[in-house]
């Protein structure tokens, strides 16, 4: 799977004003901007390897810094990643490590994904949602 295929799948699952961003000037800017009901967020899309891990160099150092700076200033941003069987939501922490907030196996729970995206605070460090998107 390529990132463009992931985008084709996820774009219709996201509510509100959704735009794919291509920014060749500002390195690290996420792929997608979503605004819905007054909540503005940024999503970096990634394709995982067959074992459900990020590929080498993903996310890039520039992406890690961008996410960290945005969250320090109260912004909402996530790395949303998938392969053929897993869908993950991750956040970049202040130490630039990537923390897995939520994981779902096929069939993907798109409503759960939206619950996580719209209710997870910046720098989440606890796995707060189960596979149905309900708070534990």
**How far is 129 from 56, CA to CA, in rounded Å?**
27
Inside any domain, residue 134: no
Please state whether beta strands 86-92 and 76-82 pair in parallel, antiparallel, or not at all (unpaired): antiparallel
Q: What proportion of the chain, given as a percentage, has pLDDT over 90?
A: 81
Q: How many domains does the chain have?
A: 1
pTM to 2 decimal places: 0.90
Tens-digit pLDDT profile for residues 93-128: 999 999 999 999 999 999 999 999 999 888 887 655
The size of the chain, in residues, is: 136
Tens-digit pLDDT profile for residues 28-46: 999 999 999 999 999 999 9
- Residue 97's domain comprises 3-119
CATH number assigned to the domain comprising residue 71: 3.40.1350.10
Kindly write down the DSSP assignment for every residue of 23-83, as one continuous string: -SSSTT--SEEEEETTEEEEEEEEE--TTS-PPTT-S-HHHHHHHHHHHHTT-EEEEEEE-
Q: Which two tokens stand for residue 90?
A: 């991750």
Cis peptide before 131 (omega within 30 of 0): no
Inside any domain, residue 64: yes
């Amino acid at each position: 799977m390529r990132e463009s295929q992931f985008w084709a799948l996820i774009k219709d699952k996201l509510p509100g004003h959704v735009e794919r961003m291509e920014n060749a000037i500002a390195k690290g800017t996420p792929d997608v901007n979503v605004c819905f009901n007054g909540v503005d967020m940024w999503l970096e899309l990634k394709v995982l390897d067959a074992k459900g891990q990020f590929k080498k160099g993903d996310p890039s150092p520039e992406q890690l810094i961008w996410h960290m700076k945005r969250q320090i200033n109260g912004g909402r941003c996530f790395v949303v990643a998938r392969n053929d069987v897993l869908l993950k939501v991750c956040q970049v922490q202040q130490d630039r490590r990537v923390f897995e907030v939520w994981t779902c196996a096929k069939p993907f729970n798109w409503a759960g994904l939206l619950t996580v995206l719209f209710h997870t605070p910046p720098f989440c460090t606890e796995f707060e949602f189960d596979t149905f998107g309900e708070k534990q």
